[in-house]
């Protein structure tokens, strides 16, 4: 099994996760390039705050899909939490306002801002947004370069948290006390319709036929620790990680310094191999001397990740 299996499997969303600086953007951009070259209409989305796709593709990429120059079938999009929130308000704001009219007298912006603060709402919308891309916008594949802080897996659980929060909101926060009256509220009907949406989203992302999670890590103590944590958390949710990329490997040391670095990495690489080689595909990626920028260099990484 290798990363190339993803091609045959025709997954719709590939999520790259791991701690900051391990190479998520580099490997997800190379992967997106690979599938675009194979002829699949591919959209790479980065939700990491640090502007990353623009740097790596050396072209200005913003919150709307931008074709990557010189690569057919490849588009990029960078979306930060503020933009996610802005779009969420446009999509759901009027509904929320209307449904809340019966029990709360608050200006539109205050009310929508208030509801938008519910925990998990950003994540919920991010998933909704990505699902829209593959379902309605004609992409064969979305490669998602996730933000390190937004603990990727929590995304799959948060819609529920968020809905539970909203369910109690009118009673707890808005001073509506009568339970009987509450049950007939349009606000609760709205929440029910959101729950359905949320379940649909969660089901899509939890289905291994649609979504694959690729864990990116490095052979250092922190990298091993992080891998262990993520694999454990996935298991708790009944999900398995099938692909790991171990990046930054020193392969041909030609100095004392690099030899020592390689010796530092070796036990951690062995730890990762021993712990996970039985249950997932581990792809090793060497540390390049050059900076990995532009489609030509990304092509070098692509060839290593997807050897023909
Ligand atoms: N295999 C590699 N060889 C050389 N440089 C790398 C490699 N992988 C990543 N880098 C560099 O390391 C830095 C962090 O990588 P990046 O992909 O941005 O990580 P992340 O998205 O996980 O924060 C970038 O400057 C990138 O060019
Ligand atoms: Mg990044």
Residues of 16-48 as b/e, b for ≥16 C-beta within 10 angstroms? bbbbeebbbbbbbbbbbbbbbbeebbbbbbbbb
Closest to 145 (Cα-Cα) out of 51, 224, 36, 82: 51
Taking CA atoms only, the protein residue closest to ligand 1 atom 27 is: 292
Lowest mean pLDDT among 129-143, 215-229, 266-280: 129-143
**Nearest ligand atom owner, CA of 45:** 2
| Distance from the alpha carbon of residue 186 to the mean position of ligand 2, in angstroms | 41
| Distance from the alpha carbon of residue 217 to the mean position of ligand 2, in angstroms | 13
**Nearest ligand atom owner, CA of 46:** 2
Lowest mean pLDDT among 61-75, 104-118, 173-187: 173-187
Residue 245 to residue 247: CA distance in whole angstroms: 6
216: helix, strand or coil:
strand
Taking CA atoms only, the protein residue closest to ligand 1 atom 25 is: 291
| Distance from the alpha carbon of residue 28 to the mean position of ligand 1, in angstroms | 11
Which residues pair with residue 118 across a beta bridge? none
181: its two tokens: 């009256």
Give backbone dihedrals phi and psi of 76, rounded to 5 degrees, phi first: -130, 160
Residue 207 to residue 210: CA distance in whole angstroms: 6
| Distance from the alpha carbon of residue 166 to the mean position of ligand 2, in angstroms | 32
Instruction: Report the pLDDT averaged over residues 248-268.
Output: 97
Could you tell me if 29 and 247 are in contact, meaning their C-beta atoms sit under 8 angstroms apart?
A: no
Q: Which residues lie with the beta carbon below 6 Å from any ligand 1 atom? A: 20-26, 52, 247-248, 285, 287-288, 291-292
59: its two tokens: 């072209």
| Among 136-145, 237-246, 260-269, the range of highest mean pLDDT | 260-269
Look at 119 and 193; give whichever has higher pLDDT. Answer: 193
Instruction: Report the pLDDT averaged over residues 33-60.
Output: 91
Q: What predicted TM-score, i.e. pTM, was given to this entire model?
A: 0.89
Residue 10 to residue 190: CA distance in whole angstroms: 35
Closest to 102 (Cα-Cα) out of 223, 185, 43: 185
Which residues pair with residue 78 across a beta bridge? 46
Q: What is the CATH number of domain 5-305?
A: 3.40.50.300
Could you tell me if 268 and 219 are in contact, meaning their C-beta atoms sit under 8 angstroms apart?
A: yes
User: Closest ligand 1 atom, CA of 19?
Assistant: 22
Measured over the CA atoms of residue 196, residue 126, residue 162 and residue 112, the dihedral's sign is negative
| Distance from the alpha carbon of residue 248 to the mean position of ligand 1, in angstroms | 8
Q: What mean pLDDT, rounded, does the chain reach?
A: 85
User: Closest ligand 1 atom, CA of 301?
Assistant: 1
User: Closest ligand 1 atom, CA of 293?
Assistant: 27
54: helix, strand or coil:
helix
264: its two tokens: 């530092």
Taking CA atoms only, the protein residue closest to ligand 1 atom 1 is: 287
Write out pLDDT tens, residues 146-191.
876 555 556 666 556 666 666 666 555 455 545 445 555 677 777 7
| Among 168-182, 195-209, 289-303, the range of highest mean pLDDT | 289-303
């Amino acid at each position: 099994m290798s990363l190339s299996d993803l091609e045959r499997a025709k997954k719709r969303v590939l999520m790259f996760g791991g701690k900051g600086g391990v190479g998520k953007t580099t490997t997800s951009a190379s992967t997106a390039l690979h599938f675009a070259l194979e002829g699949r209409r591919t959209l790479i989305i980065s939700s990491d705050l640090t502007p990353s796709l623009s740097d790596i593709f050396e072209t200005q990429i913003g919150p709307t899909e931008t074709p990557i120059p010189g690569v057919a079938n490849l588009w990029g999009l960078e979306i930060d939490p503020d933009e996610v929130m802005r779009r969420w308000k446009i999509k759901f704001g009027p509904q929320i306002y209307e449904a809340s009219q019966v029990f709360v007298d608050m200006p539109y912006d205050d009310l929508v801002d208030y509801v938008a603060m519910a925990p998990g709402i950003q994540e919920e919308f991010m998933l909704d947004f990505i699902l829209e891309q593959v379902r309605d916008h004609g992409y064969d594949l979305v490669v998602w370069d996730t933000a390190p802080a937004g603990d990727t897996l929590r995304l799959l659980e948060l819609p529920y948290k968020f809905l539970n929060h909203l369910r109690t909101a009118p009673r707890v926060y808005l001073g509506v006390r009568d339970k009987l009256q509450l049950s007939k509220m349009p606000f609760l009907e709205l929440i029910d319709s959101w729950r359905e949406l949320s379940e649909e989203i969660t089901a899509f992302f939890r289905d291994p036929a649609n979504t694959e999670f690729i864990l990116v890590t490095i052979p250092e103590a922190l990298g091993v620790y992080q891998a262990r944590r993520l694999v454990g958390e996935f298991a708790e949710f009944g999900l398995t990680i099938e692909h790991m990329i171990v990046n930054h490997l020193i392969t041909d040391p030609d100095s004392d310094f690099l030899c020592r670095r390689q010796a530092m990495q070796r036990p951690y690489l062995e730890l990762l191999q021993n712990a996970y080689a039985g249950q997932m595909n581990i792809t090793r990626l060497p540390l390049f001397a050059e900076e990995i920028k532009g489609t030509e260099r990304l092509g070098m990484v692509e060839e290593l990740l997807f050897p023909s």
